[in-house]
Amino acid sequence: MSADRFRVFVARAIFPEVLDKLGRHFEVQSNQADRLMTPEEMRACLQGASGVFTTGSERVDAPLLAACPSLRICANMAVGYNNFDLPAMTAAGVLGTNAPDVLTETTADFGFALMLAAARRISESERFLRAGLWERWRYDLFAGADVHGKTMGILGMGRIGRALARRGARGFGMRVVYHNRNRLNPDLEEESAAQYLPLDGLLREADHLLVVLPYSESTHHRIGAAELRCMKPTATLVNIGRGGVVDDSALVQALRSGQIAAAGLDVFEGEPRLNPGLLDLPNVVLTPHIASASQPTRLAMAHLAADNLIGYLTLGKPLTPLNPEVLVVR
């Protein structure tokens, strides 16, 4: 079959130039109006489609795959892919791709920004100022925690974790400790200037804990009430990994009771809905899943997802396959 006869569905609004690029290779149908689609509508849009451009929000699972037998590739415009049931995709011979690397530095920048904002009480103090409550200087007005020279704990030492470590160690003179399923090899540890600790040691020693884990059954509530109890009362917790890795209800309790000092959250359990307790707390900085959202990085992520569709459907060569065993089978 010639490549120009493949049909591709773009499930969410994306940059027009990326849509144009896909249009040069495929017959493209897109949800440029960015309507929220039910699974049934998604299935209907995928009839006859060989590829789908997804973001982290669209679920690809066994029922969808069974209903869309023409599908060959799902290209996620996200590094995380917990919206994919990858074993089901592999069983159906459908390739999954994600968008790693291009967002690493931008996402690490944002993690750092959330850590600084939470530790130095930036959102809280701005709300106070905007509310017209600032009457005079005071010695302890919004006095928070220091970041420079403190201990940064990183839970999840992939590419983004290591980029955070470099910033902490080299930019802010921090001691960096980390925990990961697998310890890094000595070269990577040295490059990251980071020391491995077991999880309980990490929790006890971190002044600022940055959670960068992907979500899976095995990382569900990795940080819960028991883990929060191990942390310092002066500590901040930042989650830029995935909602559900931190137990948000337990976090609300810990922030409310002063078990930890502050938090910065970009991802939430059940997002875009939030645990209502979070909204009432002054000592938490909340952002709507935008850690990778610089203009150039979001554009690069969209191009990478599009290039995966083009590479696979036209040449059989995706750039960032998640289940390459599918390539062997085909």
Q: What is the DSSP secondary structure assignment for residue 321, as one 8-state letter? A: B
Set 242, 269, 298, 303: catalytic member? 242
292 binding ligand GLV? (CB under 6 A): yes
156 binding ligand GLV? (CB under 6 A): no
Contact map string, positions 28 to 57, toward ligand GLV, x by CB under 6 A: ----------------------------x-
Q: How far is the CB of 213 from ligand GLV (least distance, A)?
A: 12
Determine contact, residues 42/12, Cβ cutoff 8 Å. no
Number of residues that bind ligand GLV (CB under 6 A): 6
For the chain, give the number of residues: 330
The answer to whether residue 242 is catalytic is yes
The answer to whether residue 58 is catalytic is no
DSSP string covering 57-105, please?
Answer: TS-B-HHHHHH-TT--EEEESSS--TTB-HHHHHHTT-EEE---STTHH
Among 78, 92, 212, 231, binds ligand GLV (CB under 6 A): 78
Find, among 155, 123, 119, the residue nearest to 240 by Cα. 155
Residue closer to ligand GLV by CB (options 82, 236) is 82
80 binding ligand GLV? (CB under 6 A): yes
163 binding ligand GLV? (CB under 6 A): no
Residue closer to ligand GLV by CB (options 56, 158) is 56
Strand order, beta sheet including 51-54 = 27-30, 7-10, 51-54, 73-76, 95-97
Q: How far is the CB of 149 from ligand GLV (least distance, A)?
A: 30
Distance CA 211, CA 243 (A): 10
The answer to whether residue 271 is catalytic is yes
Distance CA 85, CA 186 (A): 33
Q: How far is the CB of 118 from ligand GLV (least distance, A)?
A: 19
111 binding ligand GLV? (CB under 6 A): no
Residue closer to ligand GLV by CB (options 80, 111) is 80
Pairing mode of beta strands 262-265, 236-239: parallel
Set 162, 289, 298, 303: catalytic member? 289
Determine contact, residues 24/6, Cβ cutoff 8 Å. no
Listed in sequence order, the residues at least 6 apart from 123 whose beta carbon sits closer than 8 Å to its beta carbon are 117, 285, 286
Distance CA 105, CA 4 (A): 35
Distance CA 51, CA 309 (A): 7
Residue closer to ligand GLV by CB (options 77, 261) is 77
Determine contact, residues 115/284, Cβ cutoff 8 Å. no
Cis previous bond, 87, omega within 30: no
Ranked by CB distance to ligand GLV, the top (closest) residue is 80
Residue closer to ligand GLV by CB (options 76, 151) is 76
Among 64, 65, 75, 79, binds ligand GLV (CB under 6 A): 79
Q: How far is the CB of 56 from ligand GLV (least distance, A)?
A: 5
Helix, strand, or coil here: 210? Answer: strand
Stretch that binds ligand GLV, among 16-24, 72-80, 167-175, 249-257 (CB under 6 A): 72-80
Sites of contact with ligand GLV (CB under 6 A): 56, 78-80, 103, 292
Q: Which residues are catalytic?
A: 242, 271, 289
